[in-house]
Structure 1
Amino acid sequence: MLVLVGLLALVVGLVGGFFLARFTMKSYLAKNPPISEEMMKSMMMSMGQKPSQKKLNQMMSQMKAQSQKASKK
C-alpha cells in the first residue's frame, strides 16, 4: 500500500512538474524572444543588406505575430 502511494505521488509530481516547466518556458519566451533587433540587424548586414529601422520593425512584428499564431495552436 505504501509503495502504491509513493508511485502515485511520483507520477503526479512528474506530470505536474512537466506542465509547470512548459508554462514557465512559454511565458519566458513570449517575454524574451530568442532573437533581438540587434541580432536581426547583424544577420541582415552579413547577408549584404543594409537594414533600415522600418524593415527591422516589420520583421520583428512579423516574427511576433507568427509566434502568437503558433502559440494559439
Structure 2
Amino acid sequence: MGYYILVGILALAAGVALGFFIARKYMMSYLKKNPPINEQMLKMMMMQMGMKPSQKKINQMMSAMNKQQSK
C-alpha cells in the first residue's frame, strides 16, 4: 500500500517539474518571437508623454530594454 502512495507522489512531483520547465521554455520562445514592446509602440508612448522622439533615443531605449530582457 505504501509503495503505491510513494510512486504516486513521485509521479506527481515529476509531472509538476516537467510541466514547469516545458511552460517556461514555451514562454521564453514566445516572448523572443513576439516582444512585448517594439519601436513603434515606444515612439507612440514618447509622443503621448509630450516628447519628440528621435531615432537615436528610440534605439538607446530599445537596446537598454533588450539588455534587461536578456539577463
TM-score, length-scaled by structure 2: 0.78
Say which one has the larger Rg.
2
Over aligned residue pairs, what C-alpha RMSD do you find? 1.6
> Alignment length, in residue pairs?
69
1:45 maps to 2:47: yes
Partner residue of 2:33?
Answer: 31
Deviation string 1:18-72 (CA, Å, 9 cap, x unpaired) is: 122112212222332211112111110011111122321221112112222x2xx
Unaligned runs of 5+ in 1: none
- Counterpart amino acid of residue 64 in structure 1: N
Structure-to-structure mapping, 1:49-60, within 5 angstroms: 49-60=51-62
- Counterpart amino acid of residue 22 in structure 2: L
| Cα distance between partner residues in 2 of 1:49 and 1:34 | 21
Q: Which runs of structure 1 show a deviation greater than 6 angstroms over 4 or more consecutive aligned residues?
A: none
Residue identity over aligned pairs, in percent, reads 61
Work out which structure has the larger RCO, using CA pairs closer than 8 Å and 6 or more positions apart in sequence: 2
